[in-house]
Amino acid sequence: MSDLSGEIIDGRYELLKLIASGGMATIYEGLDLRLDRKVAVKIMHAHLADDEKFISRFIREAKAAAALSHPNIVAVQDQGWNQSGIPAVFLVMEMVEGHTLREYLFERGALPAAEAIRFLIPVLSALEAAHKIGIVHRDIKPENILISKSGRVKVADFGLAHGELIGNTLTVESSVIMGSVSYLSPEQVQRGVADSRSDVYAVGIVAFELLTGQKPFSGDSPIQIAYRHVNERVPAPSSIAAEVPPLLDLLTQRATSVNPDERPRDAGEFLSQLLEIQKEIDPQRPQLSLELDIPPAPIREKSRSPRRAVSTQSDSPTERIETMAPKEKVQKSKRKETTKRVKRNRTIAVIFLLLLASAAWYAILGPGTRVLVPSVVGGNVTQASATLTPLGLKTEVTKVFDEEINTGIIISAQPAGGARVKEGSTIHLTISKGIERYSVPSLKNLSADAALALLKENSLIAGTVTQAFSAKVKSGLIISSNPSSSASVRKDTPVDLVISKGPEVVPFDSYIGKSAEQALNELTDLGFDVTPTYIYSDSVAVGAVIAQFPDGGTSAPKGSKIELSVSKGSALVFIPNVYSLTQAKATTLLQDLELQVTVKTIGNKAIKTVTDVSPKVGSQIKRGSTVVITVG
């Protein structure tokens, strides 16, 4: 679309300059000629003006924002069709002079938790007002969050909004294409549906980006990114920025859950939980304050020096005549006394003396005696030495850690580039040692005092200390640490410690005379290692406990062994009547009684049966004894 700067829309709005252009509309800085105030004028591209669907969406944006009155929402002031000039559908909004949150993130990168919360609170406050009247934004992203020069945070672009007040005509495809894929909730991608929890998801992604300086997912195409939002859980911000407070870390994970039911139900609930976390992080901060959302902090603006006022005041003509009259008489008399040639010679002499004095000052006292220091910031020591040494300057190096500057790069120089110093002076260079990281030492099986000393030695501090039972680690020694050993962390990172209380001692009952199955189940559930041994007993029923070691009614450490002697019944058995049974049936019956069977065969019958048993039927013998049967 051609630049319409200079045009007057609807006989009222003069387009001063183009601010931004998108796929659907172009935004201009304008002047409301009727009220003499700056405005932002959004004009739909000409090729879309005949598309009823796009015009409907354009008008819906005006209705959505006009239905909301909130200090953190960009106000819509007018909407219409230009009838007096170039055909155009336009929207007039308040002019927010400043920058977007995206530009702020490009400038600052990851933000401290307290500062990130100060950006999120006004955004959630604006969405809370929208959700209360049934309006869902559906396109929350850093590009649609504006920060004015005064520090006011404002949510813009309700173009994808829908709700009872404004209708809902967008299809699944159009919402996915028009929305920003990195901030779309899984339900928007899969089903094209959105409610207040979809806005909560988008704010959760913005929170992740504020805390870590990066988006949670990347990919070669928007489809890949959308797929990851649907099929992967957004990682915890603390997995990238370890200093994120646990409560804020947990809230961000809840807000970005794939399941909408696990998120805060709307922006109001999200906001109340965030305010509670803000109290935890900064309890001294006044909760009721008249201050703006964030401190005013313009980004890379060109300095604008005010023009100096030039006084035009002069004496009155009469005063000038009276003042100048005596001087003119004197000058006339001097001209008579001094020739032009003498005056010229005097002037030349004065100029020559001034030049001579200036040259002497420059060479002896002024900058001529000094060396101009070149800028070496951003290079390495080798490059700096090659630049400074030929000028007769020395270097002195100090190394410091830096989270942003790569190892070996010069962070600053003192005196800085552009200064003038005497030849032979020393330039003090501050060199980056890179990011400061320390490896968590192995603390397992150390005493608490030894662990604390080792943490201090490695520039770390003790975090939360808890106790737990352990059958493997002696009482008073470290069971585990978090972060675990060998993890690379920042200086003064707290390391949580778990200290052993020794094995847990558990009381248990006596199971003598009781079911062995009951004893085995209950003792195993208590954490003991139970070993049953099965023996014969003429006095204890089959399956009952004969003896137990250690005895019941006492206590033992969890995991210790308990031995049970279990009855197999009597060692004696009566020989049953197996006469007339086939050889196979008789053998099986006797073997079931744990008796050994020997078979003697007589006669030539096809089907042989038992004709004799030895020892005789009814005899009592020990299990394992041999019984001879005769079949024929």
Q: Which one of the listed residues 3, 139, 449, 492 is annotated catalytic?
A: 139
| DSSP line for 288-315 | S--S-SS-----SPPP-PPPPP------
Respond yes or no on whether the N-terminal peptide bond of residue 550 is cis (omega within 30° of 0): yes
What is the spatial distance between Cα 176 and Cα 122, in angstroms, rounded to a whole number?
A: 26
**Sign of the CA dihedral with 324 first, then 330, 331, and 333 last:** positive
Question: By the 8 A CB rule, do 70 and 154 touch?
Answer: no
- Element holding 348 (H helix, E strand): helix 340-364
Taking residue 158's Cβ as centre, other Cβ atoms within 10 Å add up to 28
Q: Which residues pair with 421 in a beta bridge?
A: 371
Task: Tell which residue, 146, 148, 124, has the closest CA to residue 137.
Answer: 124
Scored b (16 or more CB within 10 A) or e, 224-234 reads ebbebbeeeeb
State the angle between helix axes of 246-255 and 267-281 in degrees (0 to 180), rounded to the nearest 10: 170
At 404, the amino acid letter reads E
Encoded tokens for 148: 């004015």
Nearest C-alpha neighbor of 519 from the set 533, 532, 538, 504: 532
Measured CA to CA, the distance from residue 181 to residue 630 in angstroms comes to 90
Name residue, tokens 């006469």: 579
Q: Which residues pair with 145 in a beta bridge?
A: 155
d(CA 219, CA 234): 14
R_g of the chain computed on alpha carbons? 46
Tokens of 42: 């959004």
H/E/C letters for each residue in 561-616? EEEEEEECCCCEEECCCCCCCEHHHHHHHHHHCCCEEEEEECCCCCCCEEEEEECC
50 in active site: no
Catalytic residues: 139
